[in-house]
Amino acid sequence: MKRVFLLVVTNLAVMLLLGVIVNIVFAFLGVSTTGRQGDLIALLVFAAVFGFGGAFISLLLSKPMAKLMTRARVITGREGVQEAWLVQTVETLARTANVKMPEVAIYEGAPNAFATGASRNSSLVAVSTGLMRGLSQAEVRAVLGHEMAHVANGDMITMTLLQGVLNTFVILLSRIIGTIVDKAVFKNRRGLGIGYFVTYMAVQTILGILASMIAMAYSRHREYRADAGAADYLGSPGDMIAALRRLGGMAPGPLPEAMKSFGINNRRGYAKFFSSHPPIEERIARLQNSTRTTSGYTM
């Protein structure tokens, strides 16, 4: 969850800054969003560069920002018995998932955990002190398996690519609609007028909300896959179901916005469409109804 909070917030901030830059550059170059084919191509290139740029900047900053915002301390296993068990467990899961050993960290807070990082082989898995105190070792192992499944599935890069595509369309469409309104409604014939700037800001906000709903829908899908991955690594869904049941009765620890999609638990909040996680009971039902195959559990 921490990872999603950070990815979303950082990405929105970068998008806002880059959006201002785009408009300054367009105004300086005299580039319009309608009319000549060259102008449309230029707009598309700018939208793609800045749309994907914001997402990838967020991805590259995700690990250091997660450590900073949660005050997580990276452990090596030499600090004590608990730390040694955590590192050994993650190491075993990393071998099972066939990924490079991630950094392991602990942070102070209510029960939660997250995975983040720029790639499958450059990741961080962190757990809260509340999770360590509130769950049994078998349940903590299942939570770690869930986070390692996020890493093995490449969810970090996939979410970034999806966010980049959504950003590109938000930037592109908001400026095209802004220009149309400026010319057709406000009858502006000289450059970009007030109608353009007011419209594109409003449309970009609306489209940004819709884009967030799409990203969160994919995030919920990823959670089912990560639960199934944990069951596969552990050989059965029992511990993952037990961990989810235990977490369902706890208040999850807060995570930075860009990290929320990569945590283990997240309350549904005001509307399910903006939730990064499905309800706990639905996740448990999926695991209980999963079909056992020779390769593990399929959803």
pLDDT at 49: 81
Residues near 109 by Cβ (< 8 Å), separated by ≥ 6?
70, 128, 129, 130, 253, 254
Pull the structure tokens for residue 123. 């990741």
Q: What φ, ψ does residue 126 adopt, rounded to 5°?
A: -130, 145
The pTM (predicted TM-score) of the whole model is 0.75
Q: Are 2 and 259 within 8 A, CB to CB?
A: yes
Q: Along the chain (299 residues), what's the average pLDDT of each consecutive run of 10 residues?
A: 49 55 54 51 76 84 90 94 96 96 95 91 94 95 96 90 87 85 82 86 92 91 94 95 88 52 50 82 90 41
Pull the structure tokens for residue 207. 């489209």
Burial classification of residue 66, based on how many CB atoms lie within 10 Å of its CB (0-12 exposed, 13-18 middle, 19 or more buried): buried
- In this structure, the strands spanning 73-75 and 113-119 are unpaired
Domain spans of the chain? 2-298
pLDDT at 298: 36
- The span from the CA of 148 to the CA of 150, in Å, is 5
Task: Provide the 3-class DSSP secondary structure of residue 64.
Answer: helix
Active site annotation includes 147: yes
pLDDT at 35: 47
Pull the structure tokens for residue 289. 């109804």
Q: Where are the alpha helices (DSSP H) in the chain?
A: 2-29, 37-70, 81-97, 129-134, 137-152, 155-184, 194-234, 238-248, 280-288
Instruction: State how far Cα 211 lies from the chain centre.
Output: 13
pLDDT at 167: 87
Residues near 207 by Cβ (< 8 Å), separated by ≥ 6?
169, 170, 173, 174
Of the candidates 103, 139, 147, 257, the residue annotated as catalytic is 147
